[in-house]
A and B are shown apart, each in its own frame.
Chain A
Amino acid sequence: MKTRISLTVNGETHEVLVPVHKTLLEVLREDLGLTGTKHGCELGECGTCTVLADGEPVLSCLALPVELAGCEITTVEGMARGGRLHPLQQAFAELGAAQCGYCTPGILLTAQALLADRPTPTRQEVKAALAGNLCRCTGYTKILDAVELAALRMTGGSRVGDRR
Chain B
Amino acid sequence: MSAERTQGGSSAGSARAIDGGRFGRGAEPPSERKHEFSVVGRPLPKIDAWTKVTGETKYADDLVLPRMAHGKLLRSPHGHALIKRIDAARARALPGVYAAVTGADLPRVKFGILPVSQDEEVLCTEKVRMVGDAVAAVAAVDEETAERACRLIDVEYEPLPALMSIEESLAHPEIRIHEYGDGPNVHKSVALQFGDVEAAFAKADLVREDVFYYEGNTHLPMEQHAAVAHAGPDGKLTLWSSTQTPHYVHRVLAKALDMPAAHVRVVATPVGGGFGGKTDPFAHEIVACHLSRLTGRPVKIALTREEVFYAHRGRHPVLMWLKTGFTRQGDITGCHIKTWLDGGAYGSYGVASTFYTGVINPVTYKMPVYKFEGARVFTNKPPCGPKRGHGTPQPRFALEVQIDKAAEQLGLDPADMRRRIAAEPFTKTANHLTVTTTGLVECIDRVVEASGWRAKWRGWRFRAPASPAQPVLGEASEGAPEGGARRSEAPSEKKRGVGLACSAYLTGAGTAIYWNDMPHSGVLLRADRSGAVTILCGATDIGQGSDSILAYLPAEVLGIAPKDVHVHPADTSLTPVDLGSYSSRVTLMCGMAAIQAAERLKTVIAKAVAGKLEVGPGELVFRDGKVGAPEEWDKAVTFARAVELAEAMHGVLAFPGSYAPPKRAGKYKGGGVGPSPCYSYTACVVELTVDEETGEVELHDVWIAHDVGRALNPLLVEGQTEGSVYMGIGEALMEGQVFRKGVHKQPSMLDYKSPTTLEMPEVHTILVETDDPEGPFGAKEAGQGPLLPVPPAIANAIYHAVGVRCDEVPIAPEMILKGLERRRQGKAARVGPEKIPVFKFKEPLVVESAFGQPAEAIAVRPFQS
**C-alpha spacing A108/B543, complex, angstroms:** 17
Q: Cβ of A85 and Cβ of B54 under 8 Å apart?
A: yes
Given known A36-B55, A75-B55, A77-B54, contact A141–B223 (CB-CB < 8 A):
no
**C-alpha spacing A1/B222, complex, angstroms:** 32
Q: Cβ of A96 and Cβ of B757 under 8 Å apart?
A: no
Interface string of B203-231 (1 = CB under 8 A from A): 00000000000000001111110000000
Q: Cβ of B45 and Cβ of A40 under 8 Å apart?
A: no
Q: Cβ of B273 and Cβ of A100 under 8 Å apart?
A: yes
Does B3 sit within 8 A of A, measured CB to CB? yes
Interface string of A108-137 (1 = CB under 8 A from B): 100000000000000000111011111111
The 8 nearest A-B residue pairs measured at CB: A36-B55, A100-B543, A101-B52, A139-B726, A102-B272, A76-B55, A93-B49, A99-B543
CB-CB under 8 A from B58, the residues of chain A are 35
**C-alpha spacing A22/B56, complex, angstroms:** 23
Q: Cβ of B749 and Cβ of A40 under 8 Å apart?
A: yes
Q: Taking the nearest CB of chain B, how far is it from the CB of A54, in angstroms?
A: 20
Given known A93-B50, A141-B722, contact A40–B1 (CB-CB < 8 A):
no
Given known A36-B56, A96-B49, A100-B273, contact A42–B305 (CB-CB < 8 A):
yes
Does A138 sit within 8 A of B, measured CB to CB? yes
CB-CB under 8 A from B305, the residues of chain A are 40-43
Interface string of B735-750 (1 = CB under 8 A from A): 0000000000000111
**C-alpha spacing A33/B56, complex, angstroms:** 11
Chain A residues numbered 23-43 whose CB sits less than 8 Å from any CB in chain B: 29, 33-43
18 A-B residue pairs with Cβ-Cβ distance under 8 Å, sorted by A, are A35-B62, A41-B305, A41-B750, A93-B46, A96-B43, A96-B46, A96-B715, A96-B718, A100-B273, A101-B52, A102-B59, A108-B53, A127-B758, A130-B757, A134-B754, A139-B723, A139-B727, A144-B757
CB-CB under 8 A from A133, the residues of chain B are 757
Q: How large is the interface on A (under 10, 10 to 19, 20 to 34, 35 or more residues)?
A: 35 or more
**C-alpha spacing A134/B749, complex, angstroms:** 9
Does B372 sit within 8 A of A, measured CB to CB? no
| 8 Å CB contact of A140 from B59, B716, B757 | B757
Does A48 sit within 8 A of B, measured CB to CB? yes
Interface string of A133-161 (1 = CB under 8 A from B): 11111111111110000000000000000
| 8 Å CB contact of B760 from A45, A88, A139 | A139
Chain B residues numbered 695-740 whose CB sits less than 8 Å from any CB in chain A: 715-716, 718-719, 722-727
**C-alpha spacing A163/B45, complex, angstroms:** 12
Q: Cβ of B3 and Cβ of A164 under 8 Å apart?
A: yes
Given known A77-B54, A85-B53, contact A42–B723 (CB-CB < 8 A):
no
Q: Taking the nearest CB of chain B, how far is it from the CB of A28, in angstroms?
A: 11
Chain B binding surface SS class = loop
| 8 Å CB contact of A128 from B43, B222, B545, B758 | B758
Does B865 sit within 8 A of A, measured CB to CB? no
**C-alpha spacing A98/B544, complex, angstroms:** 10
In the complex, the chain A residue whose C-beta lies closest to that of B49 is A93
Q: Taking the nearest CB of chain A, how far is it from the CB of B86, in angstroms?
A: 28
Q: Cβ of B749 and Cβ of A138 under 8 Å apart?
A: no
In the complex, the chain B residue whose C-beta lies closest to that of A149 is B1
Does B590 sit within 8 A of A, measured CB to CB? no
Q: Taking the nearest CB of chain B, how far is it from the CB of A31, in angstroms?
A: 11
Does A59 sit within 8 A of B, measured CB to CB? no
CB-CB under 8 A from A93, the residues of chain B are 45-46, 49-50, 52-53
Given known A127-B757, A131-B758, contact A103–B55 (CB-CB < 8 A):
no
Given known A43-B305, A99-B544, A131-B758, contact A36–B54 (CB-CB < 8 A):
yes
Given known A93-B49, A136-B754, contact A101–B723 (CB-CB < 8 A):
no
Interface string of B264-291 (1 = CB under 8 A from A): 0000001111110000000000000000
| 8 Å CB contact of B757 from A46, A80, A131 | A131
**C-alpha spacing A142/B726, complex, angstroms:** 12
CB-CB under 8 A from A35, the residues of chain B are 55, 58, 62
Q: Cβ of B221 and Cβ of A43 under 8 Å apart?
A: no
Does A95 sit within 8 A of B, measured CB to CB? yes
Does A104 sit within 8 A of B, measured CB to CB? yes
Chain B residues numbered 32-86 whose CB sits less than 8 Å from any CB in chain A: 43, 45-46, 48-59, 61-62, 64
- Count chain A CB atoms within 10 A of each CB in B54, B58, B224, B754 and give the residue with the most: B54
**C-alpha spacing A48/B221, complex, angstroms:** 11
CB-CB under 8 A from B715, the residues of chain A are 95-96, 142
Given known A37-B55, A144-B757, contact A163–B1 (CB-CB < 8 A):
yes
Chain A binding surface SS class = loop
| 8 Å CB contact of B756 from A94, A131, A164 | A131
Q: Taking the nearest CB of chain B, how far is it from the CB of A76, in angstroms?
A: 4
**C-alpha spacing A132/B46, complex, angstroms:** 26
**C-alpha spacing A34/B55, complex, angstroms:** 9
Does A50 sit within 8 A of B, measured CB to CB? no
| 8 Å CB contact of A38 from B1, B54, B223, B542 | B223
Q: Cβ of A45 and Cβ of B750 under 8 Å apart?
A: yes
**C-alpha spacing A79/B64, complex, angstroms:** 24
In the complex, the chain A residue whose C-beta lies closest to that of B715 is A96
Does A60 sit within 8 A of B, measured CB to CB? no
| 8 Å CB contact of A142 from B48, B545, B722, B748 | B722
CB-CB under 8 A from B1, the residues of chain A are 145, 163-164
- Count chain A CB atoms within 10 A of each CB in B48, B270, B748, B757 and give the residue with the most: B757
Q: Cβ of A138 and Cβ of B750 under 8 Å apart?
A: no
Interface string of A68-94 (1 = CB under 8 A from B): 000000011101100001001110111
Does B7 sit within 8 A of A, measured CB to CB? no
In the complex, the chain A residue whose C-beta lies closest to that of B713 is A96
| 8 Å CB contact of B53 from A29, A43, A89, A126 | A89
Does B31 sit within 8 A of A, measured CB to CB? no
CB-CB under 8 A from B273, the residues of chain A are 99-100, 102, 136-137
**C-alpha spacing A132/B273, complex, angstroms:** 18
Does B763 sit within 8 A of A, measured CB to CB? yes
CB-CB under 8 A from B62, the residues of chain A are 29, 35
Q: Cβ of A137 and Cβ of B55 under 8 Å apart?
A: no
CB-CB under 8 A from A128, the residues of chain B are 757-758
Does B304 sit within 8 A of A, measured CB to CB? yes
Q: Cβ of A139 and Cβ of B722 under 8 Å apart?
A: yes
CB-CB under 8 A from B59, the residues of chain A are 38, 102
Q: Cβ of A94 and Cβ of B45 under 8 Å apart?
A: yes
Q: Cβ of B45 and Cβ of A46 under 8 Å apart?
A: no
Does A65 sit within 8 A of B, measured CB to CB? no
CB-CB under 8 A from A143, the residues of chain B are 757
Does A105 sit within 8 A of B, measured CB to CB? yes
**C-alpha spacing A127/B755, complex, angstroms:** 12
Q: Cβ of A137 and Cβ of B223 under 8 Å apart?
A: no
CB-CB under 8 A from A141, the residues of chain B are 718, 722, 760, 762-763
Q: Taking the nearest CB of chain B, how far is it from the CB of A79, in angstroms?
A: 7
**C-alpha spacing A133/B756, complex, angstroms:** 8
Q: Cβ of B54 and Cβ of A100 under 8 Å apart?
A: no
Q: Cβ of A40 and Cβ of B222 under 8 Å apart?
A: yes
Q: Cβ of A142 and Cβ of B718 under 8 Å apart?
A: yes
Q: Taking the nearest CB of chain A, how far is it from the CB of B540, in angstroms?
A: 11
Q: Cβ of B760 and Cβ of A101 under 8 Å apart?
A: no
Q: Cβ of B719 and Cβ of A99 under 8 Å apart?
A: yes
Question: Contacts A98-B53, A104-B55 given; 11 further ones with Cβ under 8 A?
Answer: A29-B62, A40-B224, A42-B305, A76-B53, A85-B50, A100-B272, A100-B542, A101-B53, A102-B272, A139-B722, A139-B763
| 8 Å CB contact of A43 from B3, B45, B750, B760 | B750
Given known A99-B544, A130-B757, A163-B1, contact A38–B272 (CB-CB < 8 A):
yes
- Count chain B CB atoms within 10 A of each CB in A33, A43, A144 and give the residue with the most: A43
CB-CB under 8 A from A90, the residues of chain B are 53
Q: Taking the nearest CB of chain B, how far is it from the CB of A62, in angstroms?
A: 13
Given known A139-B726, A139-B760, contact A92–B53 (CB-CB < 8 A):
yes
CB-CB under 8 A from A89, the residues of chain B are 53-54
CB-CB under 8 A from A77, the residues of chain B are 54-55
Given known A37-B55, A38-B272, contact A134–B723 (CB-CB < 8 A):
no
